[in-house]
Every structure is written in structure tokens, then in C-alpha cells.
């Protein structure tokens, strides 16, 4: 079967909330069925993550300040950005998983810690 193109992938999207646990499990399966589990060590995943952050940075490099919502970007440029953001997220989720950590719970705890550190200052 032919692999779907970008437009087909976008039209298949639903409004269903995507959980970190679902991404974690889909990534684990993706690696397992390809025999890539052995390559997904914490260090390798960290390096892959940093590489993808570099690719993400290239999109913004030399552009000057960019308006929120990217009103002047083409759909191709937005799709490219979505892909690089996704690569970063996917490697991050996978890294947390192979480290045996629950990223969603950790992020919630960190948000609470941040709120305590930076209390709301009323004018
Ligand atoms: N050993 C690997 C290789 C890839 N991936 C997955 C995670 C990323 O979402 C994506 C990264 O794929 P590529 O290395 O092909 O990177 P790009 O998609 O960015 O391609 P390119 O670097 O050609 O732009 O594939 C993975 O899980 N494990």
C-alpha cells in the first residue's frame, strides 16, 4: 500500500485529544516493530532530540520577529513547522519513556512548582 501524502494525513485528523500516554505507546510500538528498540538509548534519543531542535530553529533563523498565529506563512511552511515540532515532541516523549519517567505527571508537578516559585503579583 502506498504511504499517505501530507494532504491525506491532514484530512485524516480528528478533534480527538491526543494524550502523551498514547504517543508514548505508539512510539514504543513504532520502535519495536522495526527492531529499533536497541538504538533508542537515553543518550541516542537525547542527541536525536537536540538535532530536531536544531531543525526547528532553522525554520525561524534569519526571519526576524514572527507574528503570533503565523499570518503570513504559507501552508507548506506551517506544515514544515508542524513536522519539526512533532519530531521534538516525539523524541522527548520517547526519551522520558526509556528513562522510566511519566512525562505528563512530571510536567504537571513542575507547573505547580513554577506557580509556587512565581506567585501572581496583584497590582
Ligand atoms: N531511529 C529513529 C529514527 C527516526 N525516528 C522517528 C522519530 C522522529 O519523529 C522521526 C525522525 O526521522 P528522521 O531522522 O528521518 O528526521 P526528519 O523527519 O527530520 O527528516 P530529515 O532530517 O530528512 O528532515 O522519525 C525514530 O523514532 N527513531
In CATH, what number is assigned to the domain containing residue 26?
A: 1.10.287.1080
Atom of ligand 1 nearest to the CA of 39: 1
3 vs 97: which has the higher pLDDT: 97
Percent of the chain with pLDDT over 70: 91
Q: Would you place residue 1 in the very low, low, confident or very high pLDDT band (cuts 50, 70, 90)?
A: very low
- Distance (Å, rounded) from C-alpha 46 to C-alpha 103? 15
Q: Would you place residue 19 in the very low, low, confident or very high pLDDT band (cuts 50, 70, 90)?
A: very high
Q: Taking CB atoms and a 6 Å cutoff, what residues make up the pocket around ligand 1?
A: 31, 36, 39, 55, 87, 90-91
Angle between helices 75-98 and 103-117 (to 10 degrees): 100
14 assigned to some structural domain:
no
Q: Which domain holds residue 45?
A: 19-117
Give the chain's domain count: 1
This prediction's pTM: 0.91
94 assigned to some structural domain:
yes
11 assigned to some structural domain:
no
- Distance (Å, rounded) from C-alpha 18 to C-alpha 12? 14
- What is this model's ipTM? 0.95
Q: Is the pLDDT of residue 76 over 90?
A: yes
6 assigned to some structural domain:
no
- Distance (Å, rounded) from C-alpha 59 to C-alpha 28? 28
Evaluate whether 4 touches 12 at the Cβ level (below 8 Å): yes
Amino acid at each position: 500500500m502506498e504511504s499517505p501524502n501530507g494532504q491525506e494525513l491532514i484530512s485524516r485528523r480528528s478533534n480527538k485529544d491526543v494524550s502523551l500516554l498514547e504517543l508514548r505507546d505508539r512510539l514504543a510500538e513504532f520502535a519495536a516493530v522495526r527492531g529499533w528498540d536497541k538504538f533508542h538509548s537515553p543518550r541516542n534519543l537525547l542527541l536525536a532530540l537536540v538535532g530536531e531542535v536544531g531543525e526547528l530553529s532553522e525554520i525561524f533563523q534569519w526571519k526576524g520577529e514572527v507574528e503570533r498565529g503565523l499570518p503570513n506563512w504559507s501552508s507548506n511552511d506551517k506544515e514544515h513547522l508542524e513536522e519539526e515540532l512533532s519530531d521534538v515532541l516525539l523524541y522527548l516523549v520517547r526519551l522520558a519513556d526509556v528513562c522510566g519517567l511519566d512525562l505528563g505527571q512530571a510536567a504537571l508537578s513542575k507547573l505547580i512548582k513554577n506557580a509556587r516559585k512565581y506567585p501572581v503579583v496583584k497590582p
